Amino acid sequence: MSATNTKHAPGTFSWPELATSDFAAAKRFYATLFGWSVQEHDMGGGQMYGIFKLEGADVGAFYKMRDEEAARGTPPHWNSFVTVADADQSAAKAKELGATVVMEPFDVMDLGRMAVIQDPTGAMFCLWQGMKNNGAGVLNQPGALCWTELLTTDPGKARSFYTRLLGWSPEDYPMGPTTYVVFKRGAEAAGGMMKITPQMGPVPPCWMIYIAVENCDATVTQAVGLGGRIEVPANDVPMAGRFAVLVDPQGAHFGVLQPPGQG
């Protein structure tokens, strides 16, 4: 991550990071789709770390999965980082609440301190305590992260875990046979949650990122033209906007969201 002075309140999803099987192909796909520029950093040992930038501001990152990740059968995916005041305290609390600390807290050079957590329902996410880098330089505008959503098999267990770990408060929104939960950080929406249904197929518990776009349908068409595919076709959600779920050419899922009144 490159330096930025942006501050994010604890409990904010502040950094999306792509783990991919093809660094060069992922760079082409996302740079073209979202108009991102890329700043590459040589991490040594043949490992590159790329920063996605929007008009000079950091919006996310990507790296080629290590051989051991691929050997475990880990598919390409987006990691979601949530800001915390103290990574060590938050990791210890997560463990007390029934989570698995996959990677204990460690320093990422002088940029920040992080840990990798698997929640009690199986979804992975990262804790981030910013030092020189506090996360994305811009959020909630076209081309930047605007929403992060948990798909889980056990919403009750997840609700208890995240509200106690991050201090979020849940608000329920009935949606036909299911209920959508919006986690609030004070008055601000921090993220969403919905139960994995049989109609979704064999979806593992996961946090999924959404990138804001000016025109959802046009972005979907462009993504398909670039070799991506549609997982969930464009749909309208009252008060939220128009969204779709896509899969990049390497297999990583992500969403796009056109806020109400745009397009």
pLDDT at 215 over 50: yes
Most confident of 64-68, 90-94, 132-136: 90-94
Residue 45 pLDDT greater than 90, yes or no: no
Reported residue count of the chain is 263
Question: Sheet of 241-247: strands edge to edge?
Answer: 169-175, 178-185, 188-195, 145-152, 206-212, 253-258, 241-247, 229-237
Quote the pLDDT of residue 239: 77
Lowest mean pLDDT among 7-11, 45-49, 57-61, 151-155: 45-49
Question: Could you give the angle at which helices 87-96 and 155-166 cross, rounded to 10 degrees?
Answer: 150
Residue ranges of domains in the chain, CATH in brackets: 13-130 (3.10.180.10)
Q: DSSP labels for 217-245?
A: HHHHHHHHHTT-EEEEEEEEETTTEEEEE
**pLDDT beyond 50 at 2:** no
Mutual angle of helices 216-225 and 23-34, in 10-degree steps: 150
pTM, entire model: 0.94
Q: How many CB atoms lie within 10 A of CB 236?
A: 11
Tokens encoding 17: 């990071």
Q: Residues 6 or more apart from 46 whose CB is under 8 A from it? A: none
Backbone Cα Rg of the chain: 17
Note the helical H segments in the chain.
Answer: 23-34, 67-71, 87-96, 155-166, 216-225
**Whether pLDDT at 5 is above 70:** no
Percent of the chain residues past pLDDT 90, beyond the cut: 80
Q: How confident is the model at residue 6 (pLDDT cuts 50, 70, 90)?
A: low
- Which long-range CB contacts under 8 A does 194-203 form with residues at least 24 apart? 194/149, 194/150, 194/151, 194/152, 194/155, 195/151, 195/152, 195/153, 195/155, 196/151, 196/152, 196/153, 200/151, 203/151
SS3 state of residue 198: helix
Q: How far apart are the first and last CA of the chain?
A: 32
Least confident among 8-17, 118-127, 175-184 = 175-184
